[in-house]
Amino acid sequence: MALSGGVDSAYLLHRCCRQRATQPELRLRAVHVHHGLLPQADAWLAHCEALCARLSVPLEIIHLDLVPRPGESVEAAAREARYAALRRLIRPGEMLLTAHHQDDQLETVLLQLFRGAGVAGLAAMPEAAPFGRGVHLRPLLGMTRATIELEARQAGLEWVEDPSNSCGRFDRAFLRQQILPPLRGRWPAVASTVSRSAKHLAEAQGLLEELAVQDADGIRDGDRLLVAPLAALSRPRQANLLRWWLRERGLGMPSTARLAAIQDDLLPARGDGGPIVTWKTGELRRYRGRLYALRPLAPVVGGPWELRPGQSRRIEGIGTVSLQPVTGSGFSVGRFPGPFELRLRHGGERLRPVGRAEVHALKKLLQEAAVEPWLRERMPLLWSGGQLLAVGDRWLAAGAAAGPAEPGCALQWARETT
């Protein structure tokens, strides 16, 4: 379980230990994330270490070197980094428990509403959801903060206080101090009723996802979407399917304006010359009547790059390229001992690939093989002594091929994750 040292997580740890006492087969470990943002962070860590030692609970510590980007919310950056670290840590079949409660749910719904979120955002935090290689559970969502604090005091628990909870420059703290007290004064059950609305919206979101799955039949082509049948859907169903598909691809949601650009500019574009629609965490491209959802491709800087047999080299925006010694395949190291260098296309390259009788323009080979345009410009070309030996891991120059039982080298390319 995630242990910050505050009252909510201290109470959840107390409950987990009580359950462990009645079910000894349960294995429990705590994880503390040290964000390094506040001077009290070391004291909170020491408190969590002492608490877990007293309860005989193994504690793992994650240190984050968090530097928010200019203009980025500190809250959002901390949350994103924290969950990314926890996602890497969770083991297959494990359950991650966090101490979110009913008042957290109320705050989440209000913040999403103020940001103009749709149904998925207003459904807020689910009680259970897939998480990394395991499951994320929020067992306290049905409890209020007041009830947790009352029971924590009755149990004699100790906890730390986070001063950022009273700092009005953070959105959640502002809600707690300025907005929620008058709301509770007028509607005492507001946390419960808003949480109920979030559950209704979660059900509605489930129905939208079922519709998206039905619409995807006949439109989804592997990791891509076919443009023509997608464009034939009504506009709301297009948007619903696109959101579902982008979530499936693990990309963040584009804004309403970016989603409209996909529908208004990318879908009706003639041929494949349409625009690229980009947002912070993704981009959509079109090629041969299909939509591709990608993570933003990093620019390629520098080059050419030296590469030696047996060496692997990671190049930003391209991926990891290596020369692996082989026998009876690849290019002949006897006839081409090096040095070797990697270059990108500049135009005019020609090659006679293994299995072909004629020399072809590389541009034509790439078009025939339907290599996506954004990969063509990032495909590593292996050169030695002014001769093109290999094009990525796709083509080998016929005149350079190693003979049977002859020592050779094969170019291997692990593409940048998209």
Query: Residue 215 falls within a domain, yes or no?
Result: no
In tens digits, the chain (418 residues) has pLDDT values of: 999 999 999 999 999 999 999 998 999 999 999 988 788 889 999 999 999 999 999 999 999 887 766 666 777 788 888 999 999 999 999 999 999 999 999 999 999 999 999 999 999 999 999 999 999 999 999 999 999 999 999 999 999 988 777 666 788 889 998 999 999 999 999 999 999 999 999 999 999 999 999 999 999 999 999 999 999 999 999 999 999 999 999 888 999 999 999 999 999 988 766 679 999 889 999 999 999 999 988 889 888 999 999 999 999 999 999 999 999 999 999 999 989 999 999 989 999 999 999 999 999 999 999 999 888 989 999 999 889 999 999 999 999 999 999 999 999 999 876 5
User: Taking a C-beta distance cutoff of 8 angstroms, is the pair 395, 365 a contact?
Assistant: yes
Compute the distance between CA of residue 23 and CA of residue 21 in angstroms, rounded to an integer. 6
Compute the distance between CA of residue 351 and CA of residue 289 in angstroms, rounded to an integer. 29
Q: What is the CATH number of the domain that holds 90?
A: 3.40.50.620
DSSP state at residue 378: T
Residues 165 and 268 in one domain: no
Rounded (5°) CA angle 61-64-67: 165
Residues 116 and 257 in one domain: no
Q: What is the CATH number of the domain that holds 254?
A: 1.20.59.20
Compute the distance between CA of residue 326 and CA of residue 304 in angstroms, rounded to an integer. 24
CA distances from 375 to 78, 378, 380 (A): 33, 5, 10
Query: Residue 61 falls within a domain, yes or no?
Result: yes
Structural domain including 317 reads 305-415
Residues 180 and 229 in one domain: no
Is pTM beyond 0.85 here?
Answer: no
User: Taking a C-beta distance cutoff of 8 angstroms, is the pair 140, 8 a contact?
Assistant: yes
Residues 275 and 341 in one domain: no
Number of domains in the chain: 3
| Amino acid in position 117 | A
Query: Residue 283 falls within a domain, yes or no?
Result: yes
User: Taking a C-beta distance cutoff of 8 angstroms, is the pair 366, 376 a contact?
Assistant: yes
Compute the distance between CA of residue 180 and CA of residue 191 in angstroms, rounded to an integer. 9
Query: Residue 43 falls within a domain, yes or no?
Result: yes
Residues 71 and 96 in one domain: yes
Signed CA dihedral, 194, 197, 199, 205: sign only: negative
